[in-house]
Amino acid sequence: MNDMGGHTLSSSISPQARSELLDTLSFLDEFNDELEHTLDITAPNPHLRMALFLLDGHFAGKTITPTALIGASRVPYATANRKMKEMVEAGLIEQRPRTKTGKSFSMHPSEKLLEQWVQVSGRIRRLAEARFGGRKRTDETKDYFFGGSYIAAQSIPPLNVLSEPLKVPGGIRALVHGDPTFMVMETLKRQFEQVIGAQISQRAFSIDRLREEALRNAERPASRYDLIAVDLPWIGEFAEKKVLRPLQEVMDIARLDPADFHTAGWQAAHWGGRAYGVPAQTTPELLFYRRDMFADAGLEPPSSTDELLKAARALHNPRRGFYGIAWNAARGTALGHTFLMALADFGQPVLDLPEIAGGFDTSRLSEGGYRITIDTDAGLQAAEFLMELLRYSPPDILSMSWYERVRPYAEGNIAMAYGYTLLAPYFELDESSPAYRQTGYLPHPAGPGAGQIAPVGGYVLGIPANLPEERVAAAVEALTVFTSPEAQKLFVQHGSRTNPRYSVGSDPEVRRASPIFEAVDAMSWHDELQFWPRPPIPEIGDIIRICGQEFHDMLRGITTPREALRTAQSRADALIHQNEQP
């Protein structure tokens, strides 16, 4: 069982949430009955049947025996027994002795199953509301993926002032990334100070300097910051190095409403089954493209890498100072991220992760034993794809990083750009930009045989492990306020284009602010939001830098794609081997 700070996940679920979980269980049970009785060829799903029975018994306080669980499966005894053992081995079911001899067991859902169910239960409810809830959809709205919930959604109310002001000497101190979303927080500082009843001070750094300062802060006797912004790939490193506290040790996780967060963003905040931060911004990397230019050229929005290259080739016109595409190609961290995401576009992570429905399993990374997978067939396809992209990119592409790739797109000199949603304000809020209201948003086009994904980026806010105890309670309250639906909506209204919560994405006022929120919600429901392209292992920062160096040499023509793959694989292997030494 995961340490939940003195209580389990199930004990922390509010009565209302518990009622909604039971309603969803009943709905699925009845829906399964209808399917099995309607279609004679439909066989019962024993895993699902047993999970529903186990969860229902758990929430009702009933004792479930192995025999009862097997009976709930509706398949032959031998098959059910085998399926039940599979669930035990997968860590979904716990067996607890009922007698002193230990020969009789009761069956219980594990914390892993409970957490997964809380997530999926919320998604099922929202999906049902999106498809069937609210008013009848008109011709004007029926083409919208989330149109139903958009019409019926209730507007999120304004932030309320805390009933008791935070009493913390010097106010709340935060270390953040210098991006548009956190700068919006700075702009709203006075308003948030009124809400929490204390002063707020922010220090903002670039991505590499932010990581350095967070690690330096962890070595101090006492943290200088109450809250730290953490890039998602750093979670494993910061957990292992005890930079952050597990949130379960200091707060009731149920207060955060975990099911309301985009699944990928919430899961990415975990290491070893424990949450180390709360999503403050979930910002997938998308393909921005000029809808007007595609229409004029008779081009369809690209869903494959071949279609992307075809569009870039058709729109590339360097003689007029106009280029097909911009992307992260600067040496080091920027290009390293690009290679990992390009590798994912061809259907492979940078580690030998086990494949699961919808992607790859990262839940056991804390156990170690993973291996690097750079020098592979997919790796060669990704490297050659980047070489092709280079042909249709601006001449200064090899120095372009996070902001540099989007600025020329906003200025009207680029037809397409890979970019995080947090960068969209550069053209969405500038009426003079040629891309203003002419931008479409797509998940990454996929290589042959792979599916489209939108690699999830962004930051969580975490509490430093060395924060003095007398400041922890105030930090928890501030964290809860800053990541609340009310705060996230406020950020959007003041220019942010990131959003970690489903409820905020379905708010009518938020939907009107930008089409990006509806696009991202649709990607989330289609399981296209994924964080496995940058698995949060402790070594990921160094692996990213290695790739950013070796593939930069490749793009400069110093090495071939095969040489770059071989060298990057060798260096990353050595890094993993070194860290495995006692």
Q: Phi and psi at residue 207, in whole multiples of 5°?
A: -60, -45
- Enumerate the H helices of 261-321 as residue ranges: 263-267, 291-297, 305-315
Domains and CATH numbers, the chain: 9-110 (1.10.10.10), 154-282+457-512 (3.40.190.10), 283-455+532-580 (3.40.190.10)
Q: What is the mean pLDDT of residues 239-243?
A: 96
**pLDDT recorded at residue 120:** 75
Taking the chain, what is the end-to-end CA distance rounded to the nearest angstrom? 27
Q: How far apart are CA 534 and CA 346, in angstroms?
A: 14
Two tokens, residue 266? 């919430």
Please state, for a pLDDT cut of 90, what percent of the chain lies above it: 67
pLDDT per position as a tens digit, 318-362: 999 999 999 999 999 999 999 999 999 999 999 999 998 778 999
CB 160 within 8 A of CB 480: no
| Residue 45 reports pLDDT greater than 60 | yes
- Using DSSP's 3-state secondary structure scheme, residue 169 falls into coil
The percentage of residues in the chain with a pLDDT greater than 70, rounded to a whole number, is 88
Q: What is the pLDDT of residues 270-279, one digit of tens each?
A: 999 999 999 9
Distance, in Å, from the CA atom of 310 to the CA atom of 324, rounded to the nearest integer, reads 10
Q: Read off the pLDDT band of 564 (50, 70, 90).
A: very high
pLDDT tier for residue 77 given thresholds of 50, 70 and 90: confident
> What's the distance, CA 37 to chain centroid?
38
Q: Which secondary-structure segment (H or E) carries 369?
A: none
pLDDT of residue 38: 64
- Looking at residue 472, its pLDDT comes to 97
How do beta strands 414-420 and 323-326 pair?
parallel
Helix axes 46-60, 111-132, angle to 10 degrees: 100
With 90 as the cut, is the pLDDT of residue 185 above it? no
CA-nearest of 349, 356, 415 to 547 is 349
pLDDT at position 75, please? 84
How far CA 190 is from CA of 95, 186, 407, in Å, comes to 52, 8, 30
pLDDT tens digits along 409-428:
999 999 999 999 999 999 99
Give the pLDDT confidence score for residue 246 in this predicted structure. 97
Report angle CA 445, 547, 561 to the nearest 5 degrees: 75
Mean pLDDT across the stretch 28-35? 72
Residues 6+ apart with CB under 8 A from 582: none
CA 529 to CA 455: how far, in whole Å? 6
* Whole-Å CA distances, 48 to 44, 118, 124: 9, 15, 15
- Report helix angle 111-132 to 516-525, nearest 10: 130
Question: Quick one: which of 351, 359, 354 has its CA closest to 526?
Answer: 359
Q: What is the pLDDT of residue 4?
A: 37
Residue 176 to residue 478: CA distance in whole angstroms: 14
pLDDT band (50, 70, 90) for residue 140: very low
Q: Which residues of 332-354 are buried (b: 16+ CB within 10 A; e: fewer)?
A: bbbbbbbbbbbbbbbbbbbbebe
Q: Is the pLDDT of residue 151 over 70?
A: no
Mean of all residue pLDDT scores within the chain: 88
pLDDT category at 26 given cuts 50, 70, 90 is confident
User: Taking a C-beta distance cutoff of 8 angstroms, is the pair 396, 326 a contact?
Assistant: no
Measure Cα distances from 409 to 174, 180, 214, 324, 404 in Å.
32, 17, 32, 10, 9
pLDDT (mean) for 252-271: 91
pLDDT at 134 over 90: no
* pLDDT tens string 505-559: 889 999 999 999 989 988 988 889 999 999 999 999 999 999 999 999 999 999 9
Max Cα-Cα span within the chain: 83
Query: What confidence score (pLDDT) does residue 283 get?
Result: 93
CB-side exposure of 30: number of CA atoms within 13 Å? 6
* Position 453, amino acid: I
- 């489209």: which residue's tokens? 452
Mean pLDDT of 489-501: 93
pLDDT at 324: 98
Least confident stretch, 113-127, 144-158, 438-452, 483-497: 144-158
- Give yes or no for residue 480 having a pLDDT over 70: yes
Q: How is residue 417 written in tokens? A: 């750009």
Q: Is 331:549 a contact under the CB 8 Å cutoff?
A: yes
Q: What is the pLDDT of residue 146?
A: 35
Q: What residue type is 58 in one-letter code?
A: H
CB count, 10 Å around CB of 511?
Answer: 23
Q: Are 546 and 540 in contact (CB under 8 A)?
A: no
Residue type, 117: W
Q: How many helices (H) and strands (E) does the chain have?
A: 25, 15
Residues 6+ apart with CB under 8 A from 284: 420, 421, 443, 454, 455, 456, 457, 520, 523, 529
Element (H, E) at 143: none
pLDDT of residue 312: 98
Rounded distance between C-alpha atoms, residue 500 and residue 62, angstroms: 36
Please determine, for residue 63, whether its predicted confidence score (pLDDT) is greater than 50. Answer: yes
Characterize the bridge pairing of strands 200-205 and 172-177: parallel
pLDDT value, residue 143: 37
Distance CA 136, CA 530 (A): 32
Helix, strand, coil abundance in the chain, percent, nearest 5: 50, 15, 35
515 neighbors 441 (Cβ within 8 angstroms): yes
CB distance 235 to 277 below 8 Å: yes
